Structure 1
Amino acid sequence: MNRNLALILMLVLSLTGCLPPEQTQVKTDNEIGVASALSSTAQTGPQVAADLTAHYNDVRVNCGSASMPAFLCRGIMLRSTVPSTAYKAWNPSPHSQTSGGVSFSYLSKDSKFTGLVFNQKNGFIFYPVLSRPSGTRQIEVLCSFPRDGATQLRMAPGCGAHPYTPDRSRRCQTIGITTAEGWLANRRENIWNVCSFDVRDAMNHLAADSFYQTIRAHQLGNFFAGQHDYIELVLATWPQNIPKELPMQAFFYLDGGLAGAQYDQKDFYDSTGGKVLPIIKINLPRTANADAQFIYNQADQVK
């Protein structure tokens, strides 16, 4: 059996729970090659909108085993940015280059929010790891917060202690917090007692539940309509100026952000020698019972 067929078989078995956790854990770029091979064809704009909608509506607890957190296969990992001629939107910021972490928001049917950090209006979306295109990097998710984690003030890479309450804002597992209920009880003692759930590959069979507790705390804490009520993920910082290697699926915008998304789309096209990523409009839910919408409009595209 050749390597590609073997990898495909391994993925199928892992998604049906037939492999032990240590064999299903996503660890390296080579080990994830099977998922990449399944996503080697570029998607059209309407296909991207449909794919995002499907990932948003998917509410699986994990991606097939206790070692595979839900963000590997479902939900929307997005990063809001500010368009500028001074830098590329997809490059890690100077702070991220120093800290080793890049902040994203996580949006799904079971983890909704109504607005982005700093009221920003556009940005880009990463594929879930298990559906990223061939030739792109696996970017590891390091930790998650049920709401904004004030990560710029934390110890590197943004998952460490917050200076206001350093003893009770460290890695959740380090201070004995492994459940949504425990996370909320800790925060009730002091609003800065916001610890990070460790979701790294090294968590192995504990990884999926760690992220699921993030989602549960988001729900139980009724984090939805506040200014900072979005799940925050910290991803490992990637090198500068590698747009072709990033698992980017689309640029997006909210109302008022189209011009920024159009600037980024053209900049990406020019920086990659002609690669086109579609622009998708996201209508975030306005009530807890509403859902986000992902809309492709040909008139929005400049490339």
Structure 2
Amino acid sequence: MKEIIALILVVVLAGCQVREQQQQQQQQQPAPTEQMPMQTVQADTGIASTTSSSAQSGATVATNLTNRYNDVRRDCGKPSMPAFLCRGVMLRSTVASNDYSSWNPSPHSMKSGGVSFSYLSKDAKFTGLVFGQKNGFIFYPVLAKPAGTRQIEVLCSYPLDGATQLRLAPGCGAHPYSPDRSRRCQTIGVTTAEQWLANRRTNSWNLCSFDVRDSMNHLGADSFYQTIRAHQLGNFFAGNYDYIELILKTWPQNIPKELPIEAFFYLDGGLPGAQHDQRDFFNKTGGRVMPIIRIILPRTASANAQFIYSAADQVK
């Protein structure tokens, strides 16, 4: 028994010695570096400098946008799932103002029920935005939207600018300059890119809209795919208003927290507008920081768009 007790004492003493050595080693090691928390700011002063975590978030957004731009899948896994649900970049150009928030639908959109977006991807390139605008915001695709944000339905698509301002609601209906041949494509027998181009050749206002609503079911993915094909076959790149136009269902005013906004963006010359919107979003969401991404659009058919996050672009 004495031998057992002695053995136990030896083990206990050895354990104490090991713990003392570990504590000494920990005291000699430098303390871990703590991340500085984002500073709180008043509504009229702007946003504090971004932290390393938000910098990482912005860089991740730029990477995700690049990956989705390069993705050229025909659909998102099913004939009923158009490609815009999972790939490409859906963006809306806006004009910064102190009189309204850029993410709120315009008075026209509130009346028509549709909001115009542009669609950018490696197989749907364009060189400029409507009216030469330089900044705006980007929506997540539906299959990647954050929990708690709204699913905004895409109602129709055009292989280039659809001159939607004068169309029947929600922007997918007939244009007054061609009331018979500018309605939804499927209603006039147009279901392929070749048919769409042939229809337009007879009258430049014969811009019918491809129906991509959820109700299209197994025809939805091909309907949007034909939009992309017509954009390519029509050689619209580098022409006037050369972007694919989407009409999204109008959402209510003043719900920034519920919208699937992924980032604010700018083209050359548009940084002040993007910074205005970033600050506005921060103030009206109780401190949410939405990254600003610079987009460089391709200038030649062989070039690709670039998505760049820079800490220097963010509001200080």
TM bucket (normalised to shorter chain) is 0.7 to 0.9
- Consecutive unaligned residues of structure 1, counting only runs of 5 or more, are 1-40
Partners of 1:209 and 1:50 lie apart in 2 by 27
Q: Letter of the 1:171 partner, please give it.
A: R
The reply to whether residue 168 of structure 1 matches residue 181 of structure 2 is yes
Partners of 2:298 and 2:240 lie apart in 1 by 14
Partners of 2:93 and 2:261 lie apart in 1 by 13
The reply to whether residue 224 of structure 1 matches residue 234 of structure 2 is no
Structure 1 counterpart SS, 2:116 = strand
The reply to whether residue 103 of structure 1 matches residue 107 of structure 2 is no
The 5 A counterparts of 1:168-207 are 168-207=181-220
Q: Decide which of 248, 264, 285 is 2:298's aligned counterpart.
A: 285
Q: Letter of the 2:255 partner, please give it.
A: I
Q: Letter of the 1:106 partner, please give it.
A: Y
Q: Letter of the 1:256 partner, please give it.
A: G
1:120-152 Cα deviation digits (max 9, x unpaired): 000000000000001100000000000000111
Partners of 1:222 and 1:135 lie apart in 2 by 40
| Partner in structure 2 of residue 271 of structure 1 | 284
Identity of aligned residues (%): 78
Q: Letter of the 1:80 partner, please give it.
A: S
Structure 2 counterpart SS, 1:285 = coil
Q: Letter of the 1:131 partner, please give it.
A: A
Provide the aligned C-alpha RMSD in A.
1.1
The 5 A counterparts of 1:52-71 are 52-71=65-84
1:187-221 Cα deviation digits (max 9, x unpaired): 00000000000000000000000000000000000
The reply to whether residue 84 of structure 1 matches residue 97 of structure 2 is yes
Partners of 1:238 and 1:254 lie apart in 2 by 26
| Partner in structure 2 of residue 48 of structure 1 | 61
1:220-267 Cα deviation digits (max 9, x unpaired): 000110121100000000000000000000000000000000000000
Partners of 1:203 and 1:97 lie apart in 2 by 24
Alignment TM-score, normalising by the size of structure 1: 0.86
- Consecutive unaligned residues of structure 2, counting only runs of 5 or more, are 1-52
| Partner in structure 1 of residue 153 of structure 2 | 140
The reply to whether residue 125 of structure 1 matches residue 128 of structure 2 is no
Partners of 2:279 and 2:98 lie apart in 1 by 12
Alignment TM-score, normalising by the size of structure 2: 0.82
Partners of 1:206 and 1:179 lie apart in 2 by 12
Partners of 2:189 and 2:266 lie apart in 1 by 39
Q: Letter of the 1:141 partner, please give it.
A: V
Partners of 1:55 and 1:135 lie apart in 2 by 22
Number of aligned residues = 263
| Partner in structure 2 of residue 25 of structure 1 | none
Q: Is the 8 A contact 1:117 1:227 kept in 2?
A: no
Structure 2 counterpart SS, 1:97 = helix
Partners of 1:77 and 1:232 lie apart in 2 by 9
Partners of 1:246 and 1:226 lie apart in 2 by 32
Structure 1 counterpart SS, 2:73 = coil
Structure 1 counterpart SS, 2:123 = coil
* Larger Rg, first or second structure (1 or 2): 2
Partners of 2:158 and 2:58 lie apart in 1 by 31
| Partner in structure 1 of residue 270 of structure 2 | 257
Partners of 2:94 and 2:239 lie apart in 1 by 20
Structure 2 counterpart SS, 1:44 = helix
Partners of 2:85 and 2:289 lie apart in 1 by 24
